[in-house]
Structure 1
Amino acid sequence: MTTHPHDRIPGPPATPPGAGDVAQIAGRLDRIPPNRFHLRLAGLLGTGTFFDGFDAISIAVVLSMIVTYFEISIAEAGLIISAGYLGQLVGALVIGALSERIGRRRAFVFCLVTFGILSLLAAFSWSSTSLLIFRLLQGIGLGAEVPVAATLMNEYLSTRKRGRIGMLYQSLFAWGLFFPPLVTLILLGAVGPGSTWRWLFAIGAIPAAVGIYAWFRLPESARWLAGKGRAAEADALVSQVEDISRQRGDVLEEPVAVVQPAAQEFRPAEIFHGVYRSRTFMLWSSWFLASFINYGCAVWLPTLYIRLGGANPSLALVLTAAIGAITVACTMLASVVIDRFGRRKLLITSFAIMLVGALIGAVGVGMFAWATLPVLIAAGAVIGVGAPLAMGPLWIYTAELYPTRMRSWRPRPRAR
């Protein structure tokens, strides 16, 4: 059996004692400032994360067109959306856990190829049922890509820079949410509403090609390699990152070993025991609330602009893109303040802002039936400010509260 070069990275003939164990690897990585290795890693992982956001939200911006094309009800359209998020839950659970065994790189590649190919198949859907099935299967790749990619990125970042750099990386997901409305506007003028949704899904197939490229170019997590006893490979990878820093003149301090509990096989039930129990329930509650508000808003607002607000499709897309721009801007802002402000304070602030936005929508539309479109715009804009202040920090905070062997699994309960 042949071994892939990026699975087995050749190390020096003799690895210095302890240089490749988990504690030493963590300590060595923790004192390396961001360099071009991290930039290349973020570029490759970020491309996948960008298209994860792109594919996840594409169904929302063309939902009204799909309803018209297949002559289905809003309730049936809701089932199609829910099927995609059910697939995401399965993917986060199954592929996340599998990545602890097969590695981050292989899991990431699988996710990209899966959701890319399924997006292309969705473009050729012949009925609402076939679209539902394709979105369900596509969700498996979508649901696991972001946590696997974020884990791999975080495991190469110094804890001192993880907040800022991690948030900048996560902003690529926000950019992925921003572009589909603009692309849809262009497609509407080029191919008309009957084919726009098919072309948008076809564009979402690009990650399959990115996944093939990543198979050859993406490095495995050095921390994961060390945890699996592959010390020479972990040492070789970290030495590569160190050499890049030294070549540009960085003076690296002596590494301080980051002592961790003795390595053991990860058992999913472990997140409900000991010190991890309270962390798990706190994080799951936070993920549930953030997802319920953020994705509920992102997925349904374009349709609500049309159905309740009376906006035409083009205006609805412009409004959706505008809120996407707010989300991107606030994600960038969060990257500036997260290390100074702290994860917890930023999360509390974000939930307070999202609560205000949700109340505007619930009171203005649900209780008093005020001018619907302006109220929907106001609610969406406020939630667009609060959501990125929660979603980005949650990825980083979650990774920091679990050890390496648990990080890719950590499923988030999603409410759609």
Structure 2
Amino acid sequence: MDRLPMTSKHRRIARVVAAGTFFDAFDSLVLGIALTVIARSLGQGFLGTGVLISAGYLGQFIGALVLGSVSDRLGRRRTFLVAITVFSLLSVACALAWNLEALTVARFLQGIGLGAEVPIAATLISEYAPSLKRGRAVMLYQAIFAWGVFAAPLVGLIVFAVVDPATGWRVLFALGVLPVLLVLLGRRALPESVRWLTAKGRTVEADRIIGEFEDTARREGKDLPEPRPAEADVARPTRLAEIFAPAYRTRTILNGTLWFTVYFVSYGYSVWLPSLYVTIGGLQVSQALYLTLVVGASQLVVVYAFAFAVDRIGRRPLFVAGFGLGILGAVLGVVMVLSGATSWPTLFAAGLLLAVGSYVPAAGLYLYIPELYPTRIRAWGTAAGSSMNRIASVIAPTVVGALLAGGFGLASVFVMFGIVLLIGLGAMTAWGIETKGRSLEETGDLIG
């Protein structure tokens, strides 16, 4: 796989997987877009709304852990298609919900598919991409998630402009059934991971798929180097506890620490910043939303910049630089707030640095984490780590609210973000290894 040139077959696989991730992002954000309308339609209060939101995150947490482990046992392709089927069909169940309780249950079950799809998809892309181009391939795929996040509010504006709001939120959820078509396409266009097949001792199937890639390369006139002897993963059974074995324990601690610290800051500021623009910065709601769009656009730029730099500069330097930039934003926020500057430019400047800085490692996690484990536990290790961002998504907004409500002031929020980012930076500096240009079989061994 590492010697193969990029071909139309690689791009076809990437399109199928990326389309699934696009709809994963879209379906994840639909609830936030429709929440106000749902409140009027189903009549839930603050408690019901909180339970509804938490149910989705709980489902994602469970889905990442359960289907992530299943992927290492039964295969990437099959589990990926199951995850898409689950969140697509449950979108219809959300659209047909007759009361808040039904919607909450449907959203929880939908979350199982949503939480599993992205880590499995990232693992699949990583295992098919040649080692010298793996960083760019995975990051360009990851950018699709950001486009899905952008698409959700835009589609919401269109739907609510042409459909009555009481019906519009149901239409938004119903659109989430479209990825079912990907399952039909994926059954033909998406092969199983060659690395996974080899790790399971199914070398005949792996060789057949490699032959298909080679035939495609020849038809397209691509140079096809002779195979080089390489040591593949030994066929060994998947044992979930292996990620905590001495050989991988430090990597697993790094894995969970990176996911938690990055997304703690990301969720903490993204949920509260628009409100702070209004309540502290004195802006109108529409002006606050425009600034939020600027931050979102900057994050999209970060993904593409990361994609084109990561295979040249390396994973570790970019992660360290991102954490450093985020810490600079936190320090700037503390200094400006303590000096009495609490206008919206202060919040915007500090928030932008926090956003861009934290999004650098956030963008690279689905590239870097699969590189830390051997094939037999790669999807499980990635999914287990990514589940920590679900925990961060629940804790961070609550802690920010508690600090502000407790009279500790905005400076305390920036101090907290700075400390969390310092923990992430320390973990990456102490335990992070460089994986640039190395095969997955090599990075999964004990190196660095």
Q: TM-score range by the shorter chain?
A: 0.7 to 0.9
* SS of equivalent residue, structure 1 residue 241: helix
Which residue identity does 1:49 align to in structure 2? T
Offset at residue 296 of structure 1 (A): 4.2
Where does 1:274-285 land on structure 2 (aligned, <5 Å)?
274-285=246-257
State which of 333, 346, 359 in structure 2 corresponds to 1:388.
359
C-alpha change, 1:217 and 1:93, in structure 2 (3 Å) is: same
* SS of equivalent residue, structure 2 residue 366: helix
C-alpha change, 1:63 and 1:306, in structure 2 (3 Å) is: farther
The answer (yes or no) to whether the contact 1:95–1:107 under 8 Å persists in 2 is yes
The answer (yes or no) to whether the contact 2:200–2:237 under 8 Å persists in 1 is no
What residue number does 1:48 align with?
20
* SS of equivalent residue, structure 2 residue 228: coil
What residue number does 1:12 align with?
none
- What stretches of structure 2 of length at least 5 have no aligned partner? 394-448
1:405 paired to 2:379: no
Q: CA deviation digits over 1:40-63, x for unaligned, max 9?
A: 010000000111111122223333
Where does 1:9-408 land on structure 2 (aligned, <5 Å)?
29-74=1-46, 76-260=48-232, 262-298=234-270, 318-357=290-329, 370-371=342-343, 377-378=348-349, 380-408=351-379
Which residue identity does 1:233 align to in structure 2? E
When the two chains are superposed, the root-mean-square deviation of aligned CA atoms in Å is 2.8
C-alpha change, 1:194 and 1:284, in structure 2 (3 Å) is: same
Separation (CA, whole Å) in 1 of partners of 2:88 and 2:98: 18
C-alpha change, 1:316 and 1:255, in structure 2 (3 Å) is: same
The answer (yes or no) to whether the contact 2:73–2:238 under 8 Å persists in 1 is no
Offset at residue 83 of structure 1 (A): 1.7
The answer (yes or no) to whether the contact 1:61–1:302 under 8 Å persists in 2 is no
Separation (CA, whole Å) in 2 of partners of 1:198 and 1:244: 43
Q: CA deviation digits over 1:2-22, x for unaligned, max 9?
A: xxxxxxxxxxxxxxxxxxxxx
* SS of equivalent residue, structure 1 residue 34: coil
Q: CA deviation digits over 1:206-242, x for unaligned, max 9?
A: 2222223322332111111122222121101111112
Offset at residue 69 of structure 1 (A): 4.2
Separation (CA, whole Å) in 2 of partners of 1:312 and 1:125: 34
The answer (yes or no) to whether the contact 2:90–2:107 under 8 Å persists in 1 is yes
Offset at residue 173 of structure 1 (A): 0.8
Offset at residue 175 of structure 1 (A): 0.9
Separation (CA, whole Å) in 2 of partners of 1:55 and 1:361: 33
* SS of equivalent residue, structure 2 residue 363: helix
Offset at residue 273 of structure 1 (A): 1.0
Which residue identity does 1:389 align to in structure 2? V
The answer (yes or no) to whether the contact 2:95–2:171 under 8 Å persists in 1 is yes
What residue number does 1:3 align with?
none
How many correspondences in the alignment? 387
* SS of equivalent residue, structure 1 residue 125: coil
C-alpha change, 1:295 and 1:400, in structure 2 (3 Å) is: same
Offset at residue 285 of structure 1 (A): 0.3
The answer (yes or no) to whether the contact 1:67–1:74 under 8 Å persists in 2 is no
The answer (yes or no) to whether the contact 1:167–1:335 under 8 Å persists in 2 is yes
The answer (yes or no) to whether the contact 1:50–1:173 under 8 Å persists in 2 is yes
Offset at residue 152 of structure 1 (A): 1.1
The answer (yes or no) to whether the contact 1:167–1:392 under 8 Å persists in 2 is yes
Offset at residue 351 of structure 1 (A): 2.3
Separation (CA, whole Å) in 2 of partners of 1:221 and 1:164: 19
Separation (CA, whole Å) in 2 of partners of 1:351 and 1:85: 25
Which residue identity does 1:403 align to in structure 2? P
Separation (CA, whole Å) in 1 of partners of 2:290 and 2:23: 20
Which residue identity does 1:38 align to in structure 2? H
Which residue identity does 1:338 align to in structure 2? V
Offset at residue 397 of structure 1 (A): 1.2
Offset at residue 367 of structure 1 (A): 11
Separation (CA, whole Å) in 1 of partners of 2:336 and 2:172: 33
Q: CA deviation digits over 1:309-366, x for unaligned, max 9?
A: 7877766655544433222211001101111221112112222333445567788889
* SS of equivalent residue, structure 1 residue 266: coil
By percentage of residues, which structure has more helix? 2
Give the TM-score normalised by the residue count of structure 1.
0.83
* SS of equivalent residue, structure 2 residue 248: helix
The answer (yes or no) to whether the contact 1:32–1:158 under 8 Å persists in 2 is yes
What residue number does 2:445 align with?
none
Separation (CA, whole Å) in 2 of partners of 1:141 and 1:208: 12
C-alpha change, 1:285 and 1:364, in structure 2 (3 Å) is: same
Separation (CA, whole Å) in 2 of partners of 1:109 and 1:306: 43
Separation (CA, whole Å) in 1 of partners of 2:35 and 2:55: 14
309-318 or 326-335: bigger deviation = 309-318
* SS of equivalent residue, structure 1 residue 155: helix
C-alpha change, 1:390 and 1:235, in structure 2 (3 Å) is: same
